[in-house]
Structure 1
């Protein structure tokens, strides 16, 4: 199955009217400390943004959601290097919730992936700099077996069949 690839532009503007960055952990904590309703609204806004762009990309590519494990490359495109990595990677929450199937109290989600648990996906987060086009670039690659994940990631490390007996030594 072919991968699904799309870009979600930032939804935040600077005082000058330029796009800034996608909300990270610090922005969410600040919103929650203001009011839990503000935090919930900010979360819903971010998840809905990702879900809308994912749905559009799925329609345009005639892409069917896979029922297999997926490799998800998430590249956060920042305007500059001011924010620290853990804050930037806090945005993974919005990305993965926006890609997941809606269920239970989560009424938002594009359904591009089955679930955001480790059983269903492997996430590879990255950061890039582009002053003109901040946002998130997402690529979903369906894989049939864990050996394919190792191959896709460009390594030759074998995956042991039974890893529940202790530490894996390479």
Structure 2
């Protein structure tokens, strides 16, 4: 089974998160909660099914430009996976439920977004 969702806009990079955490633990926690909620909302809006078998998750990070390092951008997968758990799409983000990831990077100056595809191989 395969399902996908789109999260409009960008999520904070690792550098953004570290900056927030150094400024205030509350700010970093609020950032994580906001991003996790956005991912959960996108999963519910896309009516993603519940996966019971281990899944592979493909992230397509559509950035505005090439200014942010791709490893910093992909850090946000933590928020997305936590959102999938919160929405009930996957049971947890441990290896029992997530077999692996794939990251792709595209660029669109007018429509940054994150496309998330979940596949259990069935």
* Structure 2 length-normalised TM: 0.93
Deviation (angstroms), 1:119: 2.3
Report the structure, 1 or 2, having the larger strand content.
2
Deviation (angstroms), 1:43: 0.5
Deviation (angstroms), 1:132: 1.1
Report the structure, 1 or 2, having the larger helix content.
2
The number of equivalent residue pairs is 121
Q: CA separation in 1, counterparts of 2:97 and 2:41?
A: 21
* Structure 1 length-normalised TM: 0.68
Aligned-residue Cα RMSD (Å) equals: 1.2
What is residue 41 of structure 1 aligned with on the other side? 30
After superposition, residues 79-94 of structure 1 pair within 5 angstroms as 79-94=64-79
Deviation (angstroms), 1:4: 1.0
4+ long deviations beyond 3 Å: none
Q: CA separation in 2, counterparts of 1:5 and 1:85?
A: 21
Structure of higher CA gyration radius: 1
Give unmatched runs, 5+ long, in structure 2. Answer: none
Give unmatched runs, 5+ long, in structure 1. Answer: 11-20, 101-108, 145-170
